[in-house]
Amino acid sequence: MADWITATGADTSTYRGLDRIFEYTNWDGKLTPTNCGLAASATYLTHLGKFPPLPEEAAQIMNALEADHPPNIFFGKFGTSRGRVERMCAAYGTQLDFFEEEETLRNYLDQNKPVMVMCQMPGKQILGLHFPSGHWMVAYGYDSNNIFLSNYGSMTWPEFREVWDGFIPGLIRMRNIGLIAKDLNVS
């Protein structure tokens, strides 16, 4: 459920990024299997001051996002498109810009500017076959070994590089792409 999180387990001698971020998760809404794009957007918009960082208001905020900007890939069954995330943020006064490359991602995190990312994750198993899925998260910090992500936790840099470069993010124009508020873009 929505609350403040920190980079638990980070190497404090190499950690760069936010000390904490107010995190929304899929479980703050009703469309839990497919609303990670909304949770990432709510996390990001809260960081920008568009929503209050109050756990008791999280369900109401997620319900409003689900009503006004529901997941839209294949009738919402496969999550939220990049375009929907961009329009959702624009509805709250935040125009998004995109960038490529890990170095730029690290530069933003060095400046305490979190970034929305989409990663390929293990999905459902159907008839013995594993199908990948996508998962929206907000990157908010990193150390020499790991990147720290909302609605997930942490993963090693090699793991992140693999899933950020996945087929599923490529389907929605998010392969190796990060989204950041235009007024925060300094590249």
- The domain ranges of the chain are 18-184
Phi, psi of 168 (to 5 degrees): -60, -50
pLDDT band, residue 129 (cuts 50/70/90):
confident
Q: Where are the beta strands (DSSP E) in 74-182?
A: 96-100, 115-121, 125-126, 129-130, 133-142, 146-149, 153-156, 177-181
Residue type, 132: P
Phi, psi of 117 (to 5 degrees): -135, 160
- State both tokens at 159: 């793991």
C-alpha span between 81 and 174 (Å, rounded) = 9
* Residue 9: closest CA among 175, 185, 161, 155: 155
What's the whole-model pTM score?
0.95
Q: pLDDT (tens digit, 9 = 90+) per residue, 41-82?
A: 999 999 999 999 999 999 999 999 999 999 999 988 889 999
Give the CATH number of domain 18-184; options: 3.40.50.300, 3.30.950.10, 3.90.70.10, 3.40.50.1970. Answer: 3.90.70.10
